[in-house]
Chain A
Amino acid sequence: MSTKILSKSEGFYDVYDRRPGTDKDTTHYCPGCGHGILHKLIAEALTDFGVKDNAIIISPVGCSVFAYYYFSAGNLQAAHGRAPAVATGVKRSLPESIVISYQGDGDLAAIGGNEILHAANRGEAISVFFVNNAIYGMTGGQMAPTTLIGQKTTTTPYGRTVANEGYPIKMSEIIASLTAPVYVERVMMADTKSISNTRRAVRKAIKNQVEKKGFSFVEVLSTCPTGWKMTAPQAEEWIKTTLAQHFPLGVLKDISGDVEPLNLDHHLLPTDRIGKAINLPEADADQPKFVIPDTVNEEIKISGFGGQGVLSLGVWLSEFGMREGLNVSWIPSYGPEMRGGTAHCHVKLANRPIGSPLVVHPTILVATNRPSLEKFEKEVIPGGKIFWDNSLMDITPSRTDIIRYPVPATEIANQLGNTKTANVVMLGVITGVSEFLDENIVRRTLPQIFKKKHLLDINMQAFNKGLEVAASLKRIA
């Protein structure tokens, strides 16, 4: 093949001093192999566009795994097929760099099919060079997804068949069918003229990235004399007469002239503004002292249908407890317990550190549907409290060694005009009859939970109603 038209550019090392062994002047590729030529075309383009020092090459697993011997550029060697994902990580971190994903047909079209498809579909602003030599070179001439029907390889010794292996895959056509890619072209390297044409395509793919145009993809039909068991001239001829017939050359997509440059910049937030951005709590300077006993040890289970706000009620109780200075934990029903549309949560509030966050023997059970009351009533400790929504069930706790709090929470909520406030009614009752909750903390915190004024108003009403219920229940008790 005519390599005369190629000279070493500054993007290419003069002496391959990273190459092990004594030979530092020739590449490790077989004579007549296309890889070395494509390397030089890429290096030349990087040099000519003035970006050789900003270039980062992602090399694949395949014969070109050692691309770093040659390119005078930063190099990340990727796992088999993953170069586009690695390139994504690099480009997103360094939007100003020129990121090249270089892959063979096994790497890109077989094992890495998913990575290339999605990098292309996201329109990553990288340049992909896809060396299609219709075979696995590195591992000894096995079939590639691009191997032609009838082509003999070491794993298709009788020739590839449609019945067994299917048709050769046309990656450029697939990539070009996506919306995001800006430039997709298939070229070949079989003689001086076609190499010149490849040079043009390579330059365009790199220029696109320099101009922040988006995803560019160049498929290069390339020789593998060793894998094909041919001489170099035979291999060049075979590309022209056979391979290029199955993989039509030409531009499959080019919208690079029509698209605006991408805005890839990150604006890192100054350190002093991070806390606010990630919603860290600000000190509440005039937080009052709350009146709670020294020996709080509440274990609360709240259970009902999904949508009744039982999980939220648990979170609120934990939040109030925390603001009172208690140790708290909240954990939702989760895993095997999450069945049949019921939900429950475990809440612990205590002065001492909390070991297990799970509530096995509740001091308080809040049941807002019948199955919950039936299921958990027996778990409550003797002397514990059971709150149940008696507007939603016709049963009452059968135990006599517990304190009973029937609360028509849903009925009250409906009267207020919003069923969803039932859990706040319940909250009011719990607050009214429990020593561990200071009414003031609830009043102070509700505005932070219900940020919209009309929601806050109705929920304050619900809370007050709950307190009234608590007062009347206390009188009965």
Chain B
Amino acid sequence: MERQLIKGNEAIVKGAILAGCRAYYGYPITPASEIAQAAALYMPLVGGTFLQAESEIAAINMVYGASGTGQRVMTASSSPGISLKQEGISYIAGAELPCVIVDVMRGGPGLGNIAPEQSDYHQMVKGGGHGNYKNIVLAPNSAQEMCDLTMLAFELSDKYRNPAVVLADGFIGQMMEPVVFPKPVTEFPEKKWAIRGTVGDKRNLISSIELDPDDLERHNRKLQQKYAIISQTEVRFQEYELEDAEYILVAFGIVSRLVQSAVDTLREDGVKVGMLRPITLMPFPTLPIEKYAANERVKFFSVFELNNGQMVEDVRLAVNGKKPVKFYGRMGGNVPTIQELVDQVKKQMREL
């Protein structure tokens, strides 16, 4: 297979087009702008739509409209823009529309800065907008996965009629790596619910309003059931050097690449350490973590993030008090060095 050296942000757009996405609506923001630029370049060439919207709010509502017609559609932004999209995402989740939302996270709160953070974990994985809904959230850690997980996001979002998020950070977006692009998807699920302006679908309705409390509760229960099925069937994670690991490091996205190097370094020093990397953040790999937590060999879990400790909450829930759960985070766009991670693990080992 032919490899192409490409930026993560651009790999997302090519992956999306290969997945059959033919509409992109977005508003520029660093460090996600290359996604809009690549979409502007390629969408017209494949007969798709690219539109720079007047705001992130407008963009996500254009996505709502396009998705309602059954089209595979996406938007992308970075943290402040994602905050603006939350209203629309809640409506999309409520109306059970599929779509793909890419968040190339940057430093916050407020305007923050354009450097990489992972501080949108809460707002993307836990909901973010109002209501009892969840997004499907995939966390790539390479340019290859920027393509692959974007394609998977389209598949899952159609399958479950649910918004799917590709949660990346400024680093993976800006990084260039070789990518092998797969063949274009040619088979798509039938969308009987879509509105296409024909006699056959004119009774279809895309809406999130349910005035009657019983109806709305029923709708919410149905959504929760859907999330439960997703949690049972769609969990994806990577295990690295875990066969004999006594110390389990947990990290997602770019941090997992750093932690992988730290594991290599620590292993050279004879420390039995490994990494568990959630690839899906919703559904969270709760069961595998539970399994390791129950294993006598394992002494602690240590979570590394570029935030104030957000995913660590889900690790704690999964570990459920069986083992200590440590946390080390950097914020503001600072990225730890490998040595820093190694030192942290050694310090945590001493504290045990």
- Interfacial residues, chain A to chain B (CB-CB below 8 A): 18, 20, 53-56, 58, 65-66, 68, 72-79, 82, 85-94, 96-98, 114-115, 117-118, 266-269, 271, 274-275, 277-284, 315, 318-319, 322, 327-332, 334-336, 354-358, 360
A-side contacts of B207, CB under 8 Å = 68, 75-77
Q: Are A89 and B57 in contact (CB under 8 A)?
A: no
A-side contacts of B178, CB under 8 Å = 322, 327-328
Q: Which residues in chain B, 21-53, are within 8 Å of chain A measured between CB atoms?
A: 22-23, 25, 31, 42, 45-49, 51, 53
Over the window 105-135 of chain B, the binary record of Cβ atoms lying under 8 Å from chain A Cβ atoms (1 yes, 0 no) is 0010000011110000000000000000000
Q: Are B5 and A275 in contact (CB under 8 A)?
A: no
Q: Which of B23, B113, B258 interacts with A355 by CB under 8 Å? A: B258
B-side contacts of A319, CB under 8 Å = 5
Minimum-distance CB pairs A-B, first 3: A89-B65, A335-B115, A97-B197
Q: Which of A74, A82, A334 interacts with B31 by CB under 8 Å? A: A334
Could you jot down 6 A-B contacts, CB within 8 Å? Answer: A65-B209, A278-B13, A328-B178, A335-B114, A354-B177, A360-B338
Question: In the complex, what's the smallest C-beta–C-beta distance from B90 to chain A, in angstroms?
Answer: 8
Report if B66 contacts A (CB, 8 A).
yes
Q: A75-B195, A357-B171 are in contact. Are A88 and B62 (CB under 8 A)?
A: yes
Q: Are A274 and B65 in contact (CB under 8 A)?
A: no
Across the interface, name the chain B residue whose C-beta is closest to A68: B205
Q: A74-B197, A79-B88, A330-B5 are in contact. Are A115 and B67 (CB under 8 A)?
A: no
Which secondary structure characterizes the binding site on chain A?
mixed
A-side contacts of B253, CB under 8 Å = none
Q: How many A-B residue pairs have CB under 8 A?
A: 234
Report if B54 contacts A (CB, 8 A).
yes
| Complex-state Cα separation, A18 to B211, whole angstroms | 13
Question: In the complex, what's the smallest C-beta–C-beta distance from B35 to chain A, in angstroms?
Answer: 14
Question: In the complex, what's the smallest C-beta–C-beta distance from B214 to chain A, in angstroms?
Answer: 11
| Complex-state Cα separation, A156 to B239, whole angstroms | 62
Q: Which of A74, A89, A281, A357 interacts with B202 by CB under 8 Å? A: A74
B-side contacts of A89, CB under 8 Å = 23, 25, 61-69, 73
A-side contacts of B98, CB under 8 Å = none
Across the interface, name the chain A residue whose C-beta is closest to B181: A280
| Complex-state Cα separation, A92 to B49, whole angstroms | 7
Report if B290 contacts A (CB, 8 A).
no
Instruction: Known A-B contacts: A55-B202, A93-B65, A271-B186. Give 15 more (CB < 8 A).
Output: A20-B211, A53-B197, A55-B197, A86-B64, A89-B61, A94-B196, A114-B57, A282-B2, A330-B5, A331-B174, A334-B115, A334-B171, A336-B113, A355-B338, A358-B335
Over the window 210-221 of chain B, the binary record of Cβ atoms lying under 8 Å from chain A Cβ atoms (1 yes, 0 no) is 011000000000
Q: Are B196 and A281 in contact (CB under 8 A)?
A: no
Across the interface, name the chain A residue whose C-beta is closest to B263: A355
Q: Are B199 and A82 in contact (CB under 8 A)?
A: no
Over the window 166-210 of chain B, the binary record of Cβ atoms lying under 8 Å from chain A Cβ atoms (1 yes, 0 no) is 000011001111100100101000000001111101101111110
Report if B260 contacts A (CB, 8 A).
yes
A-side contacts of B186, CB under 8 Å = 271
B-side contacts of A330, CB under 8 Å = 5, 175-177
Report if B285 contacts A (CB, 8 A).
no
| Complex-state Cα separation, A98 to B71, whole angstroms | 17
Across the interface, name the chain B residue whose C-beta is closest to A55: B197
Report if B14 contacts A (CB, 8 A).
yes
Q: Are A271 and B45 in contact (CB under 8 A)?
A: no
Question: In the complex, what's the smallest C-beta–C-beta distance from A219 to chain B, in angstroms?
Answer: 21
Across the interface, name the chain A residue whose C-beta is closest to B186: A271
Report if B17 contacts A (CB, 8 A).
yes
Q: Are B171 and A79 in contact (CB under 8 A)?
A: no
A-side contacts of B264, CB under 8 Å = 355
Report if B3 contacts A (CB, 8 A).
yes
Q: Which of A20, A90, A96, A335 is packed against the most chain B CB atoms within 10 Å?
A: A335
Q: Which of B42, B59, B73, B339 interacts with A278 by CB under 8 Å? A: B42
Question: In the complex, what's the smallest C-beta–C-beta distance from A388 to chain B, in angstroms?
Answer: 24
Question: In the complex, what's the smallest C-beta–C-beta distance from B198 to chain A, in angstroms?
Answer: 7
Q: Are B64 and A266 in contact (CB under 8 A)?
A: no
Q: Are A76 and B64 in contact (CB under 8 A)?
A: yes
